[in-house]
Each structure stands twice: as structure tokens, then as C-alpha cells.
């Protein structure tokens, strides 16, 4: 009985740590959605683009961390181009048109990535520990734990940026009310470039940890799909929601697979998150932390 419990805890922890990886992808969605009301279908492509660019740069014999540093201006350039070529031109269009535009962006990025760096699988190794360590009687994967630490640092950085800087305040104002922000002088194009850049950094970090886990390959694009149930669960407008949503999805899919998976023929991880999300939609359509509008007249 006790051993069962211990196994349960192990599975739970491993699920939670995987969930953090989902949270990372979801945070990218939330950032862009809040600031520009765009559901960015190209999020996965951006992750792949960032990771592949990083691997490509390091292919010139550069240190992996230095390559990551060099990838940052590339993501800034991408954000700038997205603003000039897409957002600025579509400022008047409906959300569905914007969504379509990001589908287009996704294809362009995927094509561009393969054109420049090829479509092979690349290893990405930046020295994260890969062993296990033991707390009490529970085995914990060191790689997953380091990823959790990286995620925590990233989130802390985002919180400091949004809560304690002038630019962060402008971004929050835009997220609250675009038009009101513009009415007091906030420049939307500037805010969009900054937000897409930050989302680009989040994509880079996501690409690094996922790449280290699975290898950098075009299939990385598909991890964006893993973020969808997370967003449904956590709400499209909340970063804490993205984190908690990721944890819930990660834990529930792992627990389901390990304890009930055999009854469903295994490989349940590919559909359980969506079932959880749909059940959740029935109960709380705005998500755990999503904004429900409180009107005051």
C-alpha cells in the first residue's frame, strides 16, 4: 500500500514537471493574446524557428549559451517584421482574419526554418543534468527539475518586467483596454513589437528545453497543440492560469496513462488533455483564471 502511494507521488511529480513544459508554450500564447488580441497559431512554428536558429548558430562552432544570446536579436527582428508586415496592416481586421494571418505566418516560419537550416533532427545539448535523485523514497528526474527551475526564473523575470517597469505597465494597460491605452499616448506598434519579442524569448526558452528533451526537429511545431488544452483550462488571458493549467494537464495525463491507460489501450496522453479541456469548458468556459467581465455602469 505504501509503495503504491510512493509510486503515485513519483508519477504525479513527473507529470507536474512535464506540465511545466506545457505551461511554457501556453505562456507564449497568453502574452500575445493579451496584448494584441491575436490567437497566435504560429506559436509552435516560432518555437521551432527559435530552437533551430539556436542549433544552426551553434553549428558554426559557438558555445551553446553564446548561440542562445545571438538568437535573441533574431527573435527581435522577427517581432519587428511581424509588426510591420502583419499587425500594422491588419489593425482594423476581425479576430478571425488575424488568426488566419498567423496560420500564414506559421507556414512561412516553418518553410523558412527548413529552407535555412534543413529539416533534419538536431541534438541540442546544453548541459542540463540527466540523472535521477532521490527525496525520501521518491525518484525525481533531474532534467525535469532543472526545466522547472528555468521556467521559474523565466516567470519571475516576466513578473518583474510587467509589474515593475514603465514599459511593462504600458503593456498591462494595453492588455486591459487597447483603445484607452492609445487614447493616452501608448503606441500600439511599439507595444506589439515588445510583446512579440518577449513571446519570442519565451519561445526560445521553450525550444531549448523541449529541444533538449526531444531533439530539435520539425515535429517541435506540434507541441503548440499541447498548449491548447492548457489555455482552455487556465484561461487565455492569465499567466498564472497558464502555469496552473499546464500543471493540471501534465499531472492528469500522466496519472491517467499510468493507472488507467491500459484499460484504454495505452497512449492516452495524446487525447486525455483534450477530454479534460472539454469537460472543463462545460463547467467554466472562461477557464480557471480567465477574465470574466464585471460591468459597472
Partner 1 sequence: MQSGLPENMLSLTNVSAVYMGSILALRNVSLSVPRGSMIALLGPNGSGKTTTLKTISNLLSLDRGRVTKGSIVYEGKPIHGASPAQLVQNGIVQVLEGRRCFLGLTVDENLAVAANNTRNTDHRIVSGAEEIYAFFPSLARQRRKKVEMLSGGEQQMVAIGRALLAQPKLLLLDEPSMGLAPKLVSQIFETIRNLNRTLGLTILVAEQNASVALKHSDYGYILNNGSVTGGGEVAELLESEEVKYSYLGQPPDKAQRQGNDLSATNWMT
User: What is the binding site for partner 1 (CB under 8 A)?
Assistant: 91-93, 166, 169-170, 172-173, 176-188, 294, 296-297
Nearer CB in complex with partner 1: 123/296: 296
| Cβ 78 to partner 1 shortest distance, Å | 23
3-state helix, strand, coil in the chain (%, to 5): 75, 5, 20
Q: For residues 3 and 169, give the distance between their C-alpha atoms in angstroms, rounded to a whole number.
A: 50
Quick one: 99 or 139, whose CB is closer to partner 1? 99
For CA atoms 128, 47, 122, 246, the dihedral sign is positive
Residue 30: burial class (beta carbons within 10 Å; 0-12, 13-18, 19+): buried
Cell of 156: 519571475
Q: What angle do CA 59, 63, 67 make, to 5 degrees?
A: 70
Q: What is the DSSP string of 96-157?
A: HHHHHHHHHHHHHHHHHHHHHH-SS-B---------EEEETTEEEEHHHHHHHHHHHHHHHH
How far apart are CB 94 and partner 1 at their closest, in Å? 9
Query: Cα–Cα distance between 35 and 188 in angstroms, integer?
Result: 9
Q: Which is nearer to partner 1, 166 or 263 (CB)?
A: 166
Residue 119 CB, shortest distance to partner 1, in Å, is 40
State which residue, 181 or 277, has the beta carbon closest to partner 1. 181
The C-alpha cell at 175 is: 492588455
Nearest approach, Cβ of residue 22 and partner 1 (Å): 26
Alpha carbon dihedral 109, 115, 117, 123, in 10-degree steps, equals 70
Q: Closest approach of Cβ 95 to partner 1, in Å?
A: 12
CB of 192 to partner 1, least distance (A): 12
Smallest separation, CB 190 to partner 1 (Å): 8
Closer residue to partner 1 in complex, CB, 170/221:
170
Q: Which CB sits closer to partner 1, 97 or 262?
A: 97
Residue closer to partner 1, measured from CB, 69 or 88? 88
Amino acid at each position: 500500500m505504501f509503495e503504491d502511494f510512493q509510486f503515485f507521488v513519483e508519477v504525479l511529480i513527473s507529470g507536474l514537471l512535464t506540465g511545466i513544459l506545457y505551461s511554457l508554450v501556453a505562456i507564449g500564447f497568453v502574452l500575445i493574446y493579451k496584448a494584441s488580441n491575436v490567437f497566435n497559431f504560429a506559436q509552435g512554428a516560432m518555437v521551432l524557428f527559435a530552437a533551430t536558429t539556436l542549433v544552426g548558430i551553434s553549428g558554426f562552432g559557438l558555445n551553446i549559451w553564446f548561440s542562445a544570446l545571438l538568437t535573441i536579436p533574431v527573435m527581435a527582428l522577427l517581432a519587428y517584421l511581424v509588426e510591420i508586415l502583419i499587425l500594422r496592416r491588419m489593425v482594423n481586421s476581425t479576430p478571425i482574419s488575424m488568426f488566419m494571418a498567423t496560420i500564414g505566418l506559421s507556414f512561412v516560419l516553418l518553410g523558412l526554418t527548413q529552407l535555412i537550416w534543413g529539416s533534419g533532427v538536431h541534438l541540442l545539448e546544453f548541459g542540463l543534468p540527466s540523472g535521477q535523485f532521490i527525496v525520501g523514497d521518491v525518484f525525481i528526474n533531474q532534467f525535469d527539475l532543472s526545466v522547472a527551475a528555468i521556467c521559474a526564473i523565466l516567470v519571475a523575470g516576466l513578473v518583474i518586467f510587467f509589474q515593475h517597469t514603465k514599459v511593462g505597465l504600458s503593456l498591462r494597460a494595453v492588455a486591459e483596454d487597447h483603445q484607452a491605452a492609445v487614447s493616452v499616448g501608448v503606441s500600439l506598434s511599439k507595444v506589439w513589437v515588445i510583446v512579440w519579442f518577449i513571446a519570442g524569448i519565451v519561445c526560445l526558452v521553450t525550444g531549448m528545453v523541449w529541444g533538449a528533451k526531444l531533439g530539435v526537429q520539425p515535429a517541435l511545431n506540434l507541441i503548440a497543440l499541447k498548449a491548447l488544452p492548457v489555455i482552455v483550462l487556465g484561461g487565455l488571458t492569465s499567466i498564472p492560469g497558464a502555469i496552473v493549467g499546464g500543471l493540471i494537464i501534465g499531472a492528469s495525463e500522466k496519472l491517467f496513462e499510468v493507472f488507467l491507460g491500459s484499460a484504454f489501450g495505452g497512449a492516452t496522453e495524446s487525447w486525455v488533455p483534450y477530454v479534460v479541456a472539454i469537460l472543463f469548458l462545460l463547467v467554466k468556459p472562461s477557464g480557471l483564471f480567465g477574465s470574466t467581465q464585471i460591468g459597472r455602469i
